[in-house]
Structure 1
C-alpha cells in the first residue's frame, strides 16, 4: 500500500474521545520498548510521525494515527514496564480492557514481541486476553535484524510454542531497520480493508 497521508488524530484516554468516523482500526499492543512507534514509521515511510523514545513507558494514551483517510493504527500503552506506579498500571489496564472489549471498529490486533527474547509472561497474558475476547490477531516479532538469519527458525519456534500459536502463519518476523516483513504486514491489513 502506498501511504500518501498519515497524521496523529488524538491521544485518547476514554471512549468518549475515540474518533467516531466508523473507520477500521488496527491496534498495536506490546511491551514498552518493543518498537511500536518504529513499526508505524517504517510502514508509512516516515521518520517521525510516531514518536520513538529510548525511555520505555512513554505511551500512556491510545494514540490514533489516521492512514490514507481509510483506517487507524491505534498505538496502545506498552505493558510490563516496572517504573510505572501500580495505580498508573491499573489505569492503563482498565483503559486497554475498555478499548479491546467495546470497540466495534477494532478489526485486528498486531501483538508485538521482541524477536530476540522468548515472550514474557505479559506477552502471553496479552495473547490469552485477546484470545478470550475472540479478537483476530497476528504476532509481529520485531528487531529481527539483531539476530543472525540462520537462527530465525529457532527464535520463531520458541515464540510459536510459548504463545501457543495455531501456526507459523500467525507470526510475522519484522525489522523497522531493514523493512523485513513490511510487505507481509500490508498484505495482512489489506485483507481487512
Structure 2
C-alpha cells in the first residue's frame, strides 16, 4: 500500500484528548528501542513522521498519525526500560489500559519484537494482556536484517514457542526490517485485513442501531 498523505495528528494522555474520528486505528506496541518509530516511518514511506530518540523510554504519550483519511497509526509508550521510574511505568500502564478499554476505534495491534532475541517477560505479558482483551494481533519481528536468512526459521520458532502461538494460528508472524523495508508488503496486507474487519463490524452495528430505531 502506498500512502499519499501522512500527518502527525495529535498527542494524547487522557480519553478526552483522543481524536474525534471513526477511522480504524492500528496500535504499534513494543519494548523501548525495538524500533517502533523507524518501522512506522518505513511503513508510510516517510523519514521523519514518527520521531525516534536515542534515549529509551522517551515516548510518554499516545501519538496519533492519520494516513490518507483512511486509517490511523497509534504509537504508544515502549515498555521494559529499567531506568523509567516505577511511578511513570504505572502511569503508562494505566494510560494504555484505558485506551484499549475505551477506544472503540482500535482495529488491532502490531506487537513488535526484536527477532534477534527471545521474547522477554515484558513481551509475553503484553501479548497476554492483548489476548485477554481479545484484540486482533499482528506480530512484527523487527531487525530481521541483523540475522542470517538460514537462521530466520529458528528465531521465528523461538517467538512462537515463547508466546504459545501454533504454526496454524491466525496471528500473522512477520519478519521486518525498517532499514531494508523487509516485510512491508506482508505487514500492510495483515493491517488491511484488520481495518476491513473493523469497517465491516462497524457497518453491522450501525445497521442494528438503525433497525432498532425504526422498530421504535
Length-normalised TM-score, structure 2: 0.87
In structure 1, the partner of 2:28 is 28
CA distance in 2, matches of 1:69, 1:58: 28
Match of 1:188 among 176, 187, 190: 190
Count of aligned pairs between the two proteins: 193
Deviations 1:89-145 (A, max 9, x none): 100000000011221110110000101000000000000001111111011100000
Coordinate RMSD, CA, aligned: 1.0
Residue aligning to 2:142: 142
What residue in structure 2 maps to residue 173 of structure 1? 175
Map 1:37-186 → 2, pairs under 5 A: 37-167=37-167, 170-186=172-188
Which structure has more helix as a fraction of its residues?
A: 2
Separation in structure 1 between the aligned mates of residue 46 and residue 37 of structure 2, nearest angstrom: 11
CA distance in 2, matches of 1:97, 1:20: 19
SS of aligned partner of 2:116: coil
Where does structure 1 differ by over 6 angstroms across 4 or more consecutive aligned residues?
none
Structure 2 unpaired stretches of 5+:
197-216
- Contact 2:172 2:190 survives alignment (8 Å): no
Give the Cα separation in 1 of the matches to 2:93 and 2:105. 20
**Unmatched segments (≥5 aa) in structure 1:** none
